[in-house]
Amino acid sequence: MKNENDIFQTMQDDINRSDVDETTKRKLFQNVLNLKDKKINLMITGATGAGKSSTINALFKTEVAKVGTGVNPETMDIKKYELDNLILWDSPGLGDGKEKDIQHSKGIIDKLYEKDSDGNLLIDLVLVIVDGSTRDLGTSYELINSVIIPNLGKDVDTRLLVAMNQADVAMRGRNPWDHENNKPTPQSKKFLDDKIISIKRRIREATNASIEPIYYSAGYKEEGEKQRPYNLSKLLYFIVSNTPTEKRLGFIKNISNDNEMWKDSDEIIDYNREIKKSFAETIVESATKGADIGGSIGKIFGGTGEAIGRVAGGVIGAIGGAISSVASSIGSFFSW
């Protein structure tokens, strides 16, 4: 029985059904096979208690990342989680003492310099999670400014993401969060925006790197209480859009299909639509590379577009969404 989540099989079925010539079909098939072999390597790190494991479990179809609830953090060594084409590297949090921090920093640096079988740097993207519930971000700045950025190599601005978790408890005092609508109050929104500007400024001053941090909440379930995530779709959008184009399809099978995860965001842009456009870019730029198919891409990969709509349906809060092709100066693209 065909797995509807197998986007690569759908792409091959689309090619088989298309009326392009055999030479073009062979090229398209080869491109799909190349895409199928691509692995995304995402490192997730941050200070102890920032919510790395909770974020992993909220974003993806997994609960292999164990959440720490006691005195000692659960992640004491870099842990590798393989989810089909997506490989997550969950690193220990800093802030457990000088000796431990030195040990953990060395492990992170070694991983950043590790290369794959093709001689390229293994880690595609580093996500540093900052604890929004504390005012003391010294450990986070030490991690970002002294460990990550100096050892990340070129393209720091696109290979490093900084996200502040626990936005719902970042502001203490009166009216910190609108729990009924799961969004910041006007007062807490200003507080969060100012905190993000401060993080950006301090990283810039220390390293000259231009990073655009965001804030979110991974949500929680404990002792009968539950809070949906906030801005999780924004976080996913930033992760996907900063992943190399040819690797982005690796996320599709692993995105959480729990609609509750994706309901609430700041709605500055339509993150859900942009996520799906990012997947479409892979098809346009990578699946058709070197194949002369002109404006027929929408016609060829129509089923693939529909499959993306189904598989990413949890992110948009609804299943379905067929695609159509539209002409542009750079060729055909998908209009969601």
Model confidence pLDDT, tens digit, residues 87-106: 999 988 777 788 888 898 99
In this structure, is residue 209 part of a structural domain?
yes
In total, how many domains does the chain have? 2
Residues 152 and 257 in one domain: yes
Query: Two tokens at 182?
Result: 């799961």
Mean pLDDT value across the chain: 83
Residues 11 and 63 in one domain: no
In this structure, is residue 26 part of a structural domain?
yes
Q: Which residues lie below 8 Å from residue 283, measured CB to CB, with a gap of 6+?
A: 11, 297, 301, 304, 305, 334
Q: Are 136 and 26 in contact (CB under 8 A)?
A: no
Partners of 165 in beta bridges: 131
**pLDDT on residue 315:** 55
Three-class SS string for 140-196? HHHHHHHHHHHHCCCCHHHHEEEEEECHHHCCCCCCCCECCCCECCHHHHHHHHHHH
Residue type, 47: A
**pLDDT on residue 332:** 36
- What average pLDDT does the segment 46-75 reach? 69
Residues 222 and 313 in one domain: no
Q: How far apart are CA 278 and CA 225, in angstroms?
A: 35
Q: Are 292 and 25 in contact (CB under 8 A)?
A: no
Three-class secondary structure of residue 109 per DSSP: helix
In this structure, is residue 11 part of a structural domain?
yes
Question: Residue 154 is part of a domain; what is its CATH number?
Answer: 3.40.50.300
Of 239, 262, 285, the last residue of a domain is: 262
Question: What is the distance between the terminal CA atoms of the chain, rounded to a whole angstrom?
Answer: 28
Whether 318 shows a pLDDT value over 60: the answer reads no
In this structure, is residue 91 part of a structural domain?
yes
Q: How far apart are CA 91 and CA 49, in angstroms?
A: 12
Residues 53 and 21 in one domain: no
In this structure, is residue 274 part of a structural domain?
no
Residues 16 and 60 in one domain: no
Residues 307 and 207 in one domain: no
Q: How far apart are CA 309 and CA 287, in angstroms?
A: 18
**pLDDT on residue 84:** 85
Residues 61 and 168 in one domain: yes
**pLDDT on residue 331:** 30
Residues 26 and 48 in one domain: no
- Of the pLDDT bands very low, low, confident and very high (cuts 50, 70, 90), residue 188 is very high
Residues 172 and 237 in one domain: yes
**pLDDT on residue 77:** 79
Of 213, 238, 262, the last residue of a domain is: 262
Predicted confidence (pLDDT) per residue in 156-187, tens digit: 989 999 999 999 999 877 668 998 999 999 99
- Of the pLDDT bands very low, low, confident and very high (cuts 50, 70, 90), residue 323 is very low
Residues 155 and 252 in one domain: yes
Residues 167 and 245 in one domain: yes
Q: Which residue has the higher pLDDT, 223 or 19?
A: 19
- Of the pLDDT bands very low, low, confident and very high (cuts 50, 70, 90), residue 313 is low
- What average pLDDT does the segment 195-221 reach? 95
- The residue behind tokens 């009924």 is 180
Q: What is the number of residues in the chain? A: 336
Predicted confidence (pLDDT) per residue in 1-49, tens digit: 345 458 899 999 999 999 889 999 999 999 999 999 999 999 999 988 8
Whether 70 shows a pLDDT value over 50: the answer reads no
Query: Two tokens at 141?
Result: 């700045």
Whether 78 shows a pLDDT value over 70: the answer reads yes
Query: Two tokens at 111?
Result: 């991983």
Buried-exposed string 211-229: b where 16+ CB fall within 10 A, e elsewhere: bebbbbbbbbeeeeeebbb
- The residue behind tokens 């194949």 is 291
* Burial class of residue 37 in the structure, from the number of CB atoms within 10 Å of its CB (0-12 exposed, 13-18 middle, 19+ buried): exposed
Of 247, 262, 277, the last residue of a domain is: 262
Residues 49 and 194 in one domain: yes
Whether 335 shows a pLDDT value over 70: the answer reads no
Predicted confidence (pLDDT) per residue in 239-291, tens digit: 999 999 999 999 988 888 888 888 899 988 888 888 888 888 898 889 999 98
Q: Which residue has the higher pLDDT, 115 or 64?
A: 115
Q: How far apart are CA 159 and CA 322, in angstroms?
A: 32
Question: How many Å separate Cα 105 from the centre of its chain?
Answer: 23
Range of the domain at 21: 7-35+295-335
pTM score of the predicted model: 0.87
**pLDDT on residue 274:** 87
In this structure, is residue 149 part of a structural domain?
yes
In this structure, is residue 119 part of a structural domain?
yes
In this structure, is residue 2 part of a structural domain?
no
Q: How far apart are CA 87 and CA 77, in angstroms?
A: 16
- The residue behind tokens 């690193």 is 91
